[in-house]
Amino acid sequence: MIVGFDYGSSNCAMGVMAESSPKLIPLEQGKPYLPSTLYAQHNSLIVDFVAKNLKHSHHVDEFFNQRKGLLASIPAIRSDLDLTTNESGIYIGKEAIEEYIEFPEEGFYVKSPKSFFGATGLKPEQIAFFEDIATAMIMAIKKRAEAHLGYELLQTVIGRPVNFQAVGGEESNQQAVSILTKAAKRAGFNDVEFLFEPLAAGIDFETSLTEDKKVLVVDIGGGTSDCSFVQMGPSFRTKVERTSDFLSHSGKRIGGNDLDIALSFHKLMPLLGLGSQMKSGLPMPHPLYWQACKINDIHLQSEFYSDKNHRELTRLLRDVEQPELLNRLLKIQENKQSHQTVRQGELAKIALSENAEHYADLSFIEKDLTQLISNNDLGDAINESLKQMVTLAEDAITSAGTQPDIIYLTGGSAQSPLLKLALQQTLGDIPMLNGDNFGSVTSGLTKWADKLFKQ
């Protein structure tokens, strides 16, 4: 009945209480973490998937009235794609990644959709589209969890960042929460509550404390970085009302994805012409390469894949000193391979947390094309992003008006030695602990959901 749900920027996970402890539910290939990705053979199939899974929901009439124009086109689209009755044309998680890599130019692919929910300037139809993406993913994930558990899930606490967007403020937060609330209820949840992700991680950590501590939780997720300064320990953890224990929060839309993008821009884009020259002696325009890498910005990606940009890149081929480099960028544009490119930046970042060097494999662009990346390269590329993350920690401490006893690090990028060094250099020798970088938020959400809905 009750589930904690981390609809994350990098991964999705669900947990239930089992014998007084949170247990993460297998969602994909026996593992609890499902990559936050969706691939559709046609974007209209997302609406079709939602409509078919809404049959027993009181949201049916509202949804069908709002999407009737799109739904009318579905039979023709399914016929063109030769989809059988049992084929949805929708993939999530690793299956979505595999489909995208095999057919990058033929379908619609989105990674970290939550990163877009707070975007400013979205038109009503764009908000509706993100509602459908979130609904389809939550429906599919919920169905997998229920199949494993053998019972229906009706109440949930969903994790949310402190701020979904760097700009837009509370309006962006309300927009994103509205998208997630509507999606979760259309997916079949009767009761939906939210909890800051760093607080969820802190609640999970609190179980292990044998004495009261002032804890700064630093959560570096895929799309956002969040800090919560919390009083926790034996004197606090039995309380249901914890508002007075949460001393401060800070957050910004900058996370692991931004580190991947920065590394890809600085170290992979030179192989595609960044830093090279035009025949006139002028440098190649930087915005072209930023658009190619910025996979978490819907507007820049739309510009990069536009017909207008294709014509511009083709025109530039005549004017550059090294057209063979620009041809590689043109291939990425034509084949919609931005995500594959940035994925190599992500893999390099992960590898460099343990190794001094890593070769990024770009053979999908050109045979045997690789790039050597060192730890120093990584540090140079992500330095500005790390500064912003450290500033968030400083802001949380300043707002709390006291110093933490412990810094608790969680999130996929929190294991980076460069982040720990940057925090230590700025904040001093405060003890730092790493929790479960991927599971602590889900476990905390599960504990909170159980306490909230059973009180």
**Residue 442 domain-assigned (yes or no):** no
- Give 121-125's long-range contacts (Cβ < 8 A, gap of 24+): 121/299, 122/175
Are 301 and 344 found together in one domain?
yes
Q: What is the predicted pLDDT for the residue at 296?
A: 84
Are 299 and 225 found together in one domain?
no
Enter the pTM of the model.
0.83
Residue ranges in the chain whose pLDDT is less than 70 = 166-168, 437, 455
Q: What is the predicted pLDDT for the residue at 163?
A: 85
Q: What is the predicted pLDDT for the residue at 95?
A: 95
Q: What is the CA radius of gyration of the chain?
A: 23
Give the separation between CA 399 and CA 397, rounded to whole angstroms: 5
Give the separation between CA 38 and CA 113, rounded to whole angstroms: 8
Task: List the CATH number of the domain containing 18.
Answer: 3.30.420.40
**Residue 196 domain-assigned (yes or no):** no
**Residue 202 domain-assigned (yes or no):** no
| pLDDT tens per residue across span 431-443 | 998 877 678 899 9
Give the separation between CA 244 and CA 123, rounded to whole angstroms: 38
Are 13 and 51 found together in one domain?
yes
Count of domains for the chain: 3
Are 300 and 414 found together in one domain?
no
Residue 133 contacts residue 38 (beta carbons within 8 Å): yes
Residue keyed to tokens 């979904």: 164
Are 315 and 343 found together in one domain?
yes
Are 219 and 267 found together in one domain?
no
- Strand 155-160 with 2-7, pairing: parallel
Reduced to 3 states, what is the DSSP secondary structure of residue 87? coil
Are 251 and 261 found together in one domain?
no
| Owning domain of residue 262 | 257-381
**Residue 21 domain-assigned (yes or no):** yes
Q: What is the predicted pLDDT for the residue at 166?
A: 60
| pLDDT tens per residue across span 296-315 | 887 888 899 999 999 999 99
Residue 294 contacts residue 301 (beta carbons within 8 Å): yes
Q: What is the predicted pLDDT for the residue at 104?
A: 81
Which is nearest to 438 in space by CA: 406, 407, 416, 415?
415
Are 99 and 21 found together in one domain?
yes
Q: What is the predicted pLDDT for the residue at 414?
A: 83
Residue keyed to tokens 């899974």: 53
**Residue 15 domain-assigned (yes or no):** yes
Are 69 and 93 found together in one domain?
yes
As a residue count, the chain comes to 455
Are 421 and 346 found together in one domain?
no
